[in-house]
Chains A and B, each alone.
Chain A
Amino acid sequence: MDAAATGARRRSWRRFLLRSAVVVAVVLATIAGAWTTFLLSERQGIAAQRRESAHKLDLFASAAEAMVKRLEHVPPTVQLNPEVQRLLHDPTSPRRVKSVNEYLRHLNAYLGSLSVYIMNDRGIVLASSNSDQPDDGLVGEDLSFRPYFLEALSGRVGRHFAIGINGNQPGYFVSHPIHDGAHVVGVAAIKISLEPINQLWETLGAPALLADTNQVVILSSHPKWRYTSLVEQPLERRVDLQLTRMYNNRRTPRFPIAVTLSVDDDSQVVETMLRPTGSALFRSGDDGTLVLGRTINGMDWRLMIFSDLRAVRNQALLSSGAAVLVAVMLVLIGLFFAQRRRIARQQRLAKALLERANAELEKNVAERTRDLTNANRRLRDEVAERVIAEHNLRATQDELVQAAKMATLGQIATGITHELTQPLGAIRTLSGNAVEFMRRGELEEVPGNLSIIARLADQMGSIIQPLKRFARKSRLAPAPADVAHAVANALFLYHLRLREEAVTVVNRCVPGEAIAWCDPNRLEQVLTNLIGNAIDAMVDAPVKVLTLEAMAHDAAGPEGQSQVRIDVVDTGCGFGEGTAAQLFEPFYTTKGSGSGLGLGLTISRDIVREFRGELFAVAQPGGGARFTVTLPGDRTPVPAGAGVRIAEEEST
């Protein structure tokens, strides 16, 4: 039992786990699908964006390169002017300075550069096109700290971006050594404006910047990005930039976007993805940026373009949304089929359950039927027992009735004996006389005596006959009984006592008038009892009147049937209020010991009730008592039997 429960629990737990795993797997698969689609679409979009940006960058780079490089060859040609050589050897002649200044001014105006100038080997500007701007190239300025000067003095070409020392005019400086034979005697330099490049930003259509060798942004479509550093400058570099006053002592804060530069040496292309912070699906505003960069040929400058990937990502999101929709549809279809299968299974299960319930019900019905059958049998047995019990009871009652009858008989035996004594004496005398007559031969007298004897014998027989009938044991057998007949019989049994006691008997019963449905013998017994009681009650009464009445009433019974009423009224001592209740109790008696058992009325009532009648007593107002017996009238159908009635009651 426990093991089974545990097993079931484990199974359900396992099923739950399995189901959870499936759900998780489906969700993961959907997410993975959406993610993959997103990535694929994004990658495709980015590739397209990259191609486009690279193309734009190439165009921009070549345009910028052309603008700047156009003037790169100017410094080497400056020394071709012999005046320049002469100035370097004798820098003190004002006339020569003036003439070279003039030459450089013309050259600068013709080329459209910012300035062209010549320095000696200590970096002091000897001659310049610039005569009034506080900038690199002002005559007398010491430019020995400039890298382009040092490069050219070392015999190489110097070129780099820098901001003018006193002004804020940025420019691209290109320098070249001025040789005198093997020696470098001076440096010629040109400052090229970068302003034209600023005009080109629009062609890119995206934020872009130009960074110099030091990774500092020198030009940008975003003014705020200008003079920011793409990398964390090491201490030496920072000090260096300060010493060379490359950005005119401007601070170069970090570039606002963290760019990691991975330069591909072959293609000189820089490429970085600026991933938006946070999840790709739940971001705000920042959609990532494709950073594409390339180096401008021979200048060590880096051009970078920051393409916003919003459009690409939106497209990717759309694609992944579509993928999610497809996935969700697949899942829904799957769920639909799963649901259908589940419903079918449930139906099967319900059917099986129903069948089992039916079987159980049938089993229950069979069990109940068996129980009922058993109960029925038991009941029947019980009924039989009751019938037996009733039979026994009845038998006992019959015995009791008989005993009571015998008691009554005993009581009246004295009277009977007296009754019989007289005729017996007469018979003795007559028979003696007859014997004497025969001895005398007076035979004619004998027949007279014998006929008298025969009459007396008949008389005696008629006295004994009622006794015999009364004493006879009778079975309960209801039949139409004439009340007047029964009253007469009862009175006959007491006629000697009535005479002795001088009781006036008023018998108002008319034969044939009141016919009761009962056993006549028992009715007689009841009346005998009542009359006996009445006589006993009137022993000391001054007036002794026994009134007997019988009446038949139609439809007077409780169920509308006809009823017979018998009243036995005496003028005796009567009974008190308290006695009325006790009258019918067994062994209650008002008579002296030896006169009765106190069972008479009890038995009488039982007899009357057995015939569905009633016996009750009422004290008469002027003394005496009235005992009334009611009995069903003739032709009243008596129920088949008490035993059957009980069985019927129990079966309902």
Chain B
Amino acid sequence: MKRFLTLAAAFMALGVAHADDTLKKIKDSGSVTMGTRESSGALAYTLGDGKYAGFHYDVCGNVLADVQKQLGMAKLDIKYQPVTSQNRIPLVQNGTVDIECGSTTNNATRQKDVAFAVTTYVEEVRIAVKASSGINSVADLTGKTVATTTGTTSVQTLRKHKRAEGVQFAELFGKDHADSFLLLESGRADAFVMDGQILAGNISKAKTPAAYKIVGETLSVEPIAIMIRKDDPAFKKAVDDSIKAQIKNGTIAKLYDKWFMQPIPPANTVVGLPLSAATKTAWESPNDKPMEEYAVK
């Protein structure tokens, strides 16, 4: 009887390993590939020359250190793969990227393809405009051109917002957030709809930050999380445990303060986005609920 149970457990383990066992892959290869973003505001961005930084980048670094510790590896080679809004999910799926630490919204559609760790940051989609534009709400967007970044959910969010019913506006897509902000800066777009922290980060890095402001209603509340492959419970557990520990011991709060409230490289500007109540709540009871379960206030 005991032998039979062992055998069954062995089969089950085999099955899991066969599906996608990132921990085994990391241990076997001695390396891990972290997907990160080149311009996702203070969450993840590049410093140039293959170097990356940001809140999520740091959280991920801590997670991988915990994984290395868990696997008892003396040395872990961390490779960095810059990803885009388009290719981040395929790259996680095809195994190129093992853990993506950018600014990916955890939503129900994506959960069909990939898995998310517990939410580390709650984003609120807002509208950034030039301070002189006179735009103060969604309703003011009538007849305006709205910029957003290709591959993001922001436009859908705006379209779906009940205040936007009957509001006609043109859309312009930036290749990335920097490009989108450039559309706003150059005047080709009247507004830039995006995650609040990305907008804040871009404004802080602008030549004259005072010329921009974030206005209007919160269009949606989106949980941002670290993305991993689907159907890999062992790896997910390792990542989740690490994040929970970081929440518990205050590491994550410190990192937030570092990236959102203090001057950050390369220009030593301050994003100035205090910890939101939503993010705080997410930390208080760690979970991987998709965006659909967050109600727009």
Contact = CB atoms under 8 A, between A and B. Distances in A.
Interface residues of A, number: 22
Contacts of A243: 150-151, 155, 173
Nearest to B155: A239
B95 A239 contact: no
B191 to A, nearest CB: 17
Interface stretch (A142-150, A385-393, A556-564, A605-613): A142-150
B151 A183 contact: no
How large, as a class, is the contact surface on chain B?
A: 20 to 34
B96 interface: yes
A363 to B, nearest CB: 96
B287 to A, nearest CB: 24
A153 B87 contact: yes
Interface in B150-164: 150-151, 155-156, 159-160
Given A121-B96, A182-B95, A154 B160 contact: no
Contact of B93 (A121, A142, A155, A235): A155
B84 A122 contact: yes
B150 A239 contact: no
Contacts of A122: 84, 87
Given A142-B175, A154-B93, A184-B96, A123 B156 contact: no
Nearest to A153: B90
A123 B87 contact: yes
B171 A242 contact: yes
Contacts of B175: 142
Contact of A154 (B84, B90, B151, B155): B90
B94 A154 contact: yes
B33 to A, nearest CB: 9
Q: Point out which of A142, A182, A235, A243 has the most chain B C-beta atoms below 10 A from its C-beta.
A: A243
Contact of A150 (B89, B96, B156, B159): B89
Given A121-B96, A184-B96, A235 B160 contact: yes
A594 B151 CA distance: 167
A145 B84 CA distance: 10
A474 B159 CA distance: 151
A650 interface: no
Contact of B86 (A150, A235, A236): A150
A151 B113 CA distance: 11
Contact of A145 (B86, B95, B156, B171): B86
Contact of A235 (B151, B156, B171, B173): B156
A177 interface: yes
Contacts of B95: 155, 182-184
A182 B175 CA distance: 29
B251 to A, nearest CB: 32
Contacts of A152: 90
A123 B151 CA distance: 13
Interface in A230-284: 235-236, 239, 242-243
A154 B89 contact: yes
B87 A121 contact: yes
Interface string B58-86: 00000000000000000000000000101
B278 interface: no
Interface in B5-54: none
Nearest to B113: A154
Nearest to B150: A145
A214 to B, nearest CB: 16
A145 B160 CA distance: 22
Contacts of B155: 239, 243
Nearest to B154: A239
Contacts of B160: 235
11 contacts: A122-B84, A144-B87, A144-B151, A153-B90, A154-B94, A154-B113, A155-B94, A177-B94, A184-B90, A235-B156, A243-B151
Given A154-B94, A239-B155, 15 more contacts: A122-B87, A144-B87, A144-B151, A145-B86, A153-B91, A154-B93, A154-B113, A155-B90, A155-B94, A183-B95, A183-B96, A184-B94, A184-B95, A235-B159, A243-B151
